A and B are shown apart, each in its own frame.
Chain A
Amino acid sequence: MTAENVHPLRRDRELVPGSPGWAYQVTPPQVFKVEETRPAKGKGKDEDGARGTALEFRPVLTWCPEVSKGLITLRPNGEVDTWYYRVSVQGQRATISHRELMAGDAWRERFRAPGLGFRTWREVLTNIVLDQAERLPLTLAVTRTGWHHVTDQPAVYVSADGRARPTGDAVELIGATAELETAAAPVQLPEGHSAADVLARVATSGGWAPLFGIAAGARSFGQTIRPVSAALVVWGDPNTGKTCTAVAGRLLALAPCWPPLPTAKMSEDTVTDIEAKVDFEADMPTLLDDLALTLDAPMLVQRDAVAKLERIIRAIGNGGQMRGRRKRDGITAQTQRHIRTIPVITAQSLPPQMQASLFRRAVVLRLVRGDAHWRWWEKVHKSGELAEVIGPGLRAIGDRIISRLAEADDPGAVLAEADTAGQTALSTHVDREVPGWADSETGMVGVVSMAGAMLGGLALAADAAGVERGPLLDAVAAPLARSLAVQADTMEDRRQATDDLKTAIGDIIRQGLVSRRAFLTGPDGTLGTAHLPGGLTAQAAGLREVGQDPHIGMVRFEGAGVAMHYVPAYGGIAVRPSALFDLARASGDSRAAGYTAKSIGSALKRAGALVPGSARPVKRVTIGGSQPWCLVIPESVIWPDLDGDADPGPDEEVPHGQDDGGPSGGEPEPEISPAVREPEPSNKQTPTSPVVQATPPAEFVNRVPAGETASAVTAQGRPVLAAGVTEQGITWIGSDWATQDDGGYDSLPELLAAIVQQMPKGGTVAIDASAAARLGYPGKPVNARPGGKPAAKSSGTPKARKECRAVIEAAGAGWQPSAAGIGAWTAWHGPSRPSVVIVVPEWIDPRAMRVSGAPYLRSDHDALTAAYLLARYREITGVPFVMTAGTSGTNMIRAALGPDRMRTGRRARRSALLKWDGEGTPAASIQERACVWDRPLAQLTEDERSRPNVVGFDVVCQFLSAMVMAVLPWDTLTNTGFVGFDASIPGYWQVSGPWQPYELLPDLTGRAGAPGPHLLSTPTVAHLLEHGMPEEMITDAWLPRLRRDKEGRDLPRGGRLLHGSPGVAELIRDGLMSIDPATPDADEAAVREVVKATFRETVGMLQRGTKFVHRPDWADAIIGTARTTLLRKVAKVGKETGMWPVRINHDCVYYAVDTTDPAAILPDGWKLPGPGQIPKLGQWTVKPENVMSMDCFLATDVHGDPRKV
């Protein structure tokens, strides 16, 4: 073998480009390894006597791929899309894509030949194919049928068999299946038959539905020229001719066969497979066959069916690609799949979840028997007539339509004219079957237009066959219009079933009544059938018989759940918005989801589901003796059939479909805001008891400033902070005064009225148990145990809770107690009034009340002492104390930042979002924790071990300092991705792992060295970056959105919201500073303790949340600020002095030292309070319990437990 015999031989020794040392020849097929050989000594020398080299061709493969054609596909903009190669290997022929070739898939999957298992050889074979292809002329290839612009010439139509009409250009079709290629092969209509005869026979015997299928098929030929933006969905019972209808249209392009050759199978193919197949069959009739779905199909099957229908119908309706996909690089688009035909889908039934919007993008034929004469089609198929005459006749029509469009100067105009003909023929009949369709807003205008365009295909077919259009169009238009009327009804049903809040709320209420989650009362709040709407049974009203009244013999009823009131005077059924919201949520009906108790009223008003006549959704309705704010829903919304007509009809006062379907802020329901709302005069207030000047109780004489007689003290004109109620009277307490009203109260409403008059913003009042009993309180607390599980329901008739006199009288005056009932702490709410909290100190039992917070009032406090404590707390913090320091602290935040705040400075216009649970962000879980760390004993130095003592330095009010410093977000957080760290933006950052720059300090992320990623708050991450963590370790971020004011200026995303003048933190700080920690006054000591507990527990309450305040991200920011501030100081001392802590427990840092004198061992820069000074923020203290011997330290861990060996 010599080089001259090998083809090709190029570029010196690189015989196969890209594969040096290899060569090949096609005939006979062989692949060689080329080796350089030197002749033996004395042989092969040239004339100069030097020895030359020779190439030896060693056969490696006894076969070689042969490329017969190189194909190229172009994108619409003329750029190269990809290449294909027709390759033969040992008689195996395949068209392989460039991607398959380069990836090696072609050799692994398309061919089988010896040697293909060796990767090096496969690479050589790839280069061989590329080398051969480069020598061949390129042939243009297309990857779909239909119209293409091959050159600058008019478009050509490429059939599924690869024919290019009318020019016969050399165009290759890639991807056609053999069956499709065969079916699309040309056929000839036998002599003696004509296309007109065939079309006439089909029109006469085949049924109108197959004729419409032919129309849609004919129109499909011009889809890319002038699109019809709708699918044709044919559904109906078995044996109604669904497939027959679709197949008739397909006969215009393909030979008949049974079972038919579908484009794709709806039930068997995946969505992706369907996409690819539909994309291939462009500008030709299609068949997406057999969506086998029954009404009781599993939800999974129905969801899959909906997904397929969505993908197909929405793509054709919207005109875009079926689904955008990206390659793995995330930038490059994958091949786009389009629908370039009228997809014809057959289905046994349509899934109930199919949206009305899909119906608007499809012409839906509901076939019944007789619409398609499938027996005739079966007969001609069996007789062979279909294959010999009908099929070729219809193919002739299809070919003529293609030819006509190809030869037309403006094929679009041809199609437009046909569309108009179809629409004109159809509209006449639709006017009769669907009155008012042209003015309808349900989407029928588009549906009729598209159906008319499809019908226009029949005009094209008639022209091609040479028959009159009119009779053919009329034969189809009338039944088609009837079918469209059914579709219009279905669309309206679907819209109401899926989108109509009015219908939804009616369904929910009706279902709630029947399932006894709600019940209906009469206008006076009584239960019975006498006041129900006409025709409604007791069961339908949620009522159940519970026997007869022993006195009058009437049947008694009971109801459970939400109370609804039939108030014909107001025009319907009244219900409180919050109760209706609860009912809607309990129903799980997704149509009514997305609203709140406040916004559901506005949404119902927009949907026309409320009795009109007022600007607000709620009305004040008189029910019995009370006047709650209620939504009033017309009876016809709930029971559309009560009057014998379930259809509200077009003359309904409020048209359907006005709701935008989404939640909105809406007009707020009148809300009773505790403590901070300004009072409004109440028409139920009774005169207060006369102010009688009296000597204050002995406890309070000392509280009144010297020189001011008690008798001169009066509440008039001075703010009352709290009050104590005894059997003898009520004592009002101000900041430096107190006064008593003698006489006491026998009626709770009277007492409440007096309290509101003295404390217009509401407040907390302490009352003796005996005085409470005089008001009608029960003898002991009867409220539900907080946090406890509900008691098991008894099997018998539910026993109504017998309310005490205080509750009954208060209800009569419009006051309601806390939902849990009367307890040691009871909040009384009334419409348009501030809340009043009444505490009975004798009843306070933290264990029974299940309170976790630090106790302030105790059971051994009398009412007046308790009142004094309450007044002192309010004096310091500005808010009344309510149950725990944490709850009171969140009330402070609410008063400072909420909508009813003092509008000064930067908070004049902007309210902070106070209630957000962090759903969907890192705030939903606890991310920041206090530092609790013991240095491992192995890391203690000999020097440290030799020190006799370990002393702990405690930060003064660590969390309070952090509350001052913490930068908190105004709004919610969202995942913004990481675009650079900014310490001024509060939020969360994802850090890829731990960061421990100092061996003798804990992991600065606060995660004890646990592997990442960690979600950390901004102060922690800022601290990490300060200590050398590369910014690249931050991988993601959740930050507040950037907002702008009306002038377009960026608003700050965060701020020191608890800092101000005075802010929440400063109020607490000043309160603490005003009381000496060493005060001998037990009450003052208790006040100081509870103020201290306020900032500590408030952080926890921000995490857990109250009714009004819930910001877990704020808690994380405060904790993160506290920890990083501490560690920052500790690290600074360590770096500068070599003094490293041996233990850190929350806010206390322990060092191994020689002496227990704090001043002698205090690190530089740290400060201790001076003698007699009250500790200030930023200072350190050493408490006796934080001083221990080294032996004690070595024996116990940070928790105080014995160390584990």
Chain B
Amino acid sequence: MQIRGRAKQDLGEAIFQALSGRAYSSVEKASTQEAAKAMVDRWGSTKAVAERLGVSVRTVERYVSGAIQNPSKRNRDQFAAAHREAKITPGRKQKAAESGTASGPDRTQTGTGGLAIFGSVRVSEDERDRWITPGSHMTPAEADGIIDAMVQNGPEAAAAALNTVIQRYVPGMHINYIEEIDY
């Protein structure tokens, strides 16, 4: 998918946009009430959201009504993770999970598609706009790991997970900014 607007300098935010179709700022700026409504929309009921958050239905209802402005410290991380997960489109998530086309860094898997990134890429002194295909060096489990890192710990963790793959793809490769992510 193409990153709309300005190219993303932050790899993690670009991954989030690829997974959700929305900028990560939409998550950051959302109020607790908006986040709770988004979760209810995604999972269908306050009960389902309550189960995911590990809180009572009543608490979720209070999130939705705006009675609770901020989740408690104990629930904050879980709430943020659930909000990110709610924002991620199931179809995109499934496609992304299938974007690891290699079983380890096996050359026979290269050139077969999978996760591909277009942007400004620097390797040593070679810096230019180009496509890179880290998906060809990424196992499905690693793809799952990136999505899981995004949900559980946010864009920075997802970027770190993807960078691990990229460094195996080409050691020393640095992505300056991203214009398109395809998977």
Give A contacts to B, CB under 8 Å. Answer: 787-789, 846-847, 850-855, 917-919, 924-926, 929-930, 932, 954, 1096, 1103-1105, 1112, 1145-1148, 1183, 1185, 1198-1201
Query: Contact: B116 with A787, CB < 8 Å?
Result: yes
Chain B residues closer than 8 Å to A1148, beta-carbon distance: 124-125
With A1112-B107, A1145-B124, A1147-B124 in contact, is A846–B171 under 8 Å at CB? no
A-B contact pairs, 10 of them (CB 8 A): A787-B111, A846-B130, A852-B130, A852-B132, A918-B107, A924-B108, A925-B104, A925-B106, A932-B171, A1104-B107
Alpha-carbon distance A592/B162, docked complex (angstroms) = 42
Query: Contact: A917 with B172, CB < 8 Å?
Result: no
- How many Å from the CB of A1004 to the closest CB on chain B? 16
Chain B residues closer than 8 Å to A1103, beta-carbon distance: 107, 110
Chain B residues closer than 8 Å to A789, beta-carbon distance: 113
- How many Å from the CB of A115 to the closest CB on chain B? 56
Chain A residues closer than 8 Å to B111, beta-carbon distance: 787, 1104-1105
A1183 CB contact (under 8 Å) in B104, B125, B128, B130: B125
Alpha-carbon distance A954/B133, docked complex (angstroms) = 27
Alpha-carbon distance A850/B182, docked complex (angstroms) = 11
Chain A residues closer than 8 Å to B71, beta-carbon distance: none
Chain A residues closer than 8 Å to B131, beta-carbon distance: 787, 846-847, 850-852
With A789-B113, A1200-B174 in contact, is A926–B107 under 8 Å at CB? yes
Query: Contact: B172 with A1146, CB < 8 Å?
Result: yes
A924 CB contact (under 8 Å) in B106, B124, B129: B106
Alpha-carbon distance A1185/B179, docked complex (angstroms) = 25
Alpha-carbon distance A917/B106, docked complex (angstroms) = 10
Query: Contact: B133 with A787, CB < 8 Å?
Result: yes
Judge whether B144 is part of the interface by a CB distance below 8 angstroms.
no
Query: Contact: B174 with A1201, CB < 8 Å?
Result: yes
The interface bits of chain B over 99-128 (1 if a CB of A lies within 8 angstroms of the residue's CB, else 0) are 000001111101111001010001111101
Chain B residues closer than 8 Å to A1183, beta-carbon distance: 125
Alpha-carbon distance A846/B113, docked complex (angstroms) = 16
- How many Å from the CB of A479 to the closest CB on chain B? 57
Alpha-carbon distance A594/B132, docked complex (angstroms) = 34
- How many Å from the CB of A1096 to the closest CB on chain B? 7
Q: A1104-B111, A1198-B172 are in contact. List 17 more A-B contacts (CB 8 A).
A: A787-B113, A846-B130, A846-B131, A847-B131, A854-B126, A854-B130, A919-B108, A924-B106, A925-B104, A925-B107, A926-B107, A932-B172, A954-B125, A1145-B172, A1147-B124, A1148-B124, A1201-B174
The interface bits of chain B over 169-183 (1 if a CB of A lies within 8 angstroms of the residue's CB, else 0) are 001101000011010
With A846-B130, A1145-B172 in contact, is A917–B180 under 8 Å at CB? no
Query: Contact: A1104 with B126, CB < 8 Å?
Result: no
Alpha-carbon distance A918/B105, docked complex (angstroms) = 13
Alpha-carbon distance A1185/B124, docked complex (angstroms) = 11
With A1104-B111, A1198-B172 in contact, is A926–B124 under 8 Å at CB? no
- How many Å from the CB of A394 to the closest CB on chain B? 63
- How many Å from the CB of B89 to the closest CB on chain A? 18
- How many Å from the CB of B43 to the closest CB on chain A? 28
Chain B residues closer than 8 Å to A1145, beta-carbon distance: 124, 172
Chain B residues closer than 8 Å to A787, beta-carbon distance: 111-113, 116, 131, 133
Query: B121's closest neighbor in chain A, by CB?
Result: A852
Alpha-carbon distance A862/B130, docked complex (angstroms) = 22
The secondary structure that dominates the A interface is loop
Chain A residues closer than 8 Å to B105, beta-carbon distance: 925-926
Alpha-carbon distance A1157/B132, docked complex (angstroms) = 37
Alpha-carbon distance A930/B125, docked complex (angstroms) = 14
List 3 tightest A-B contacts by C-beta distance, closest first.
A932-B172, A1146-B124, A932-B171
Query: A919's closest neighbor in chain B, by CB?
Result: B108
Query: B122's closest neighbor in chain A, by CB?
Result: A1200
B174 CB contact (under 8 Å) in A853, A925, A1199: A1199
Query: Contact: B128 with A917, CB < 8 Å?
Result: no
Chain B residues closer than 8 Å to A850, beta-carbon distance: 116, 131
Alpha-carbon distance A847/B112, docked complex (angstroms) = 17
- How many Å from the CB of A923 to the closest CB on chain B? 8
B133 CB contact (under 8 Å) in A852, A853, A919, A925: A852
Alpha-carbon distance A855/B106, docked complex (angstroms) = 27
Chain A residues closer than 8 Å to B122, beta-carbon distance: 1200
- How many Å from the CB of A956 to the closest CB on chain B? 12
User: Quick one: which of B104, B124, B129 has the most chain A CB within 10 A?
Assistant: B124
Chain B residues closer than 8 Å to A1147, beta-carbon distance: 124
Chain A residues closer than 8 Å to B106, beta-carbon distance: 924-925
Alpha-carbon distance A142/B141, docked complex (angstroms) = 59
Query: Contact: B125 with A917, CB < 8 Å?
Result: no
Chain B residues closer than 8 Å to A1112, beta-carbon distance: 107
Query: Contact: B171 with A929, CB < 8 Å?
Result: yes
Chain B residues closer than 8 Å to A854, beta-carbon distance: 126, 128, 130
Alpha-carbon distance A791/B182, docked complex (angstroms) = 14
User: Quick one: which of B104, B105, B122, B130 has the most chain A CB within 10 A?
Assistant: B130
User: Quick one: which of A852, A929, A1103 has the most chain B CB within 10 A?
Assistant: A852
Chain A residues closer than 8 Å to B112, beta-carbon distance: 787
Chain A residues closer than 8 Å to B133, beta-carbon distance: 787, 852
Query: B123's closest neighbor in chain A, by CB?
Result: A1146
- How many Å from the CB of A891 to the closest CB on chain B? 17
- How many Å from the CB of B119 to the closest CB on chain A? 10
Chain B residues closer than 8 Å to A1104, beta-carbon distance: 107, 110-111
Query: A851's closest neighbor in chain B, by CB?
Result: B131
Query: Contact: B172 with A1199, CB < 8 Å?
Result: yes
Query: Contact: B129 with A847, CB < 8 Å?
Result: yes
Chain B residues closer than 8 Å to A1146, beta-carbon distance: 123-124, 172
User: Quick one: which of B106, B107, B110, B111 has the most chain A CB within 10 A?
Assistant: B107
Query: Contact: B113 with A847, CB < 8 Å?
Result: no
Chain A residues closer than 8 Å to B171, beta-carbon distance: 929-930, 932
Query: B169's closest neighbor in chain A, by CB?
Result: A926
Query: Contact: B113 with A917, CB < 8 Å?
Result: no
Alpha-carbon distance A854/B121, docked complex (angstroms) = 11
Query: Contact: A847 with B172, CB < 8 Å?
Result: no
- How many Å from the CB of B139 to the closest CB on chain A? 13
Chain B residues closer than 8 Å to A929, beta-carbon distance: 171
